[in-house]
Amino acid sequence: MAGWTLTLKNLLLPCFCKRCDARLLTEENGFYCPTCWESSPRLERPFCSLCGRPHRGMAGFGTLSNFPCADCRAMNPKRRYARRIVGAAQYDDVIGEAIRWFKFKGKTRLVEPLAGEMRVFAERELDDCYAAVIPVPLHRVRLRERGYNQAHLLAHELLPQFPGAKLVQALERIRPTRTQSTLREPAARRANVRGAFAVVPAAADRLSGNAVLLIDDVVTTGETVHECARVLRRAGVEAVDVFAAALAVDRLSQTPEPW
Does the footprint of Zn ion cover residue 86 (CB under 5 A)? Answer: no
**Cα(40)–Cα(37) distance, rounded to whole angstroms?**
6
Q: State the minimum distance, in angstroms, from the CB of residue 50 to Zn ion.
A: 5
Q: Which is nearer to Zn ion, 54 or 137 (CB)?
A: 54
Closest distance between Zn ion and the C-beta of residue 18, in Å? 8
Tally of residues, the chain: 259
134 touching Zn ion, by CB under 5 A = no
- CA 246 distance to own-chain centroid: 5
136 binds Zn ion (CB under 5 A): no
Q: Measured from the CB atom, is 14 or 256 closer to Zn ion?
A: 14
Q: CB-based contacts of 97: which residues, under 8 Å, 6+ apart?
A: 18, 19
Q: Which of 6, 20, 25, 174 binds Zn ion (CB under 5 A)?
A: 20
Tell me if 246 contacts Zn ion by CB under 5 A. Answer: no
Q: Which of these segments, 18-26, 126-134, 136-144, 184-192, binds Zn ion (CB under 5 A)?
A: 18-26
**Closest CB to Zn ion among residues 221, 254:** 221
What is the nearest approach in angstroms of Zn ion to the Cβ of residue 223?
Answer: 14
Residue 254 CB partners (closer than 8 Å, separation 6+): 91, 181, 220, 248
H/E element, 247: strand 239-247
222: left (phi over 0), alpha (psi -120 to 50) or beta: left
Which among 89, 114, 88, 87 has a CA at the least distance from the CA of 103? 114
Taking the least distance from each CB to Zn ion, the nearer of 66 and 179 is 66
Compute the least distance from the CB of residue 24 to Zn ion, in Å: 8
Closest distance between Zn ion and the C-beta of residue 169, in Å? 29
Q: Give the contact letters, 33-72, x = binds to Zn ion (CB under 5 A), - = no.
A: x--x-----------x-xx-----------------x--x
- The footprint of Zn ion on this chain (CB under 5 A) covers a number of residues equal to 11
Provide the angle, in degrees to the nearest 10, between the axes of the packed helices 223-234 and 186-193: 40
- In the three-class reduction of DSSP (H, G, I as helix; E, B as strand; rest coil), residue 99 is classed as helix
Query: Cα–Cα distance between 68 and 49 in angstroms, integer?
Result: 5
Q: In whole angstroms, how close is the CB of 71 to Zn ion at the nearest point?
A: 5
Compute the least distance from the CB of residue 158 to Zn ion, in Å. Answer: 23
Distance CA 26, CA 203 (A): 42
**Which is nearer to Zn ion, 174 or 252 (by Cβ)?**
252
Of residues 98, 94, 75, 100, the one with CA closest to residue 181: 100
**Residues found near Zn ion in the complex (CB under 5 A):** 17, 19-20, 22, 33, 36, 48, 50-51, 69, 72
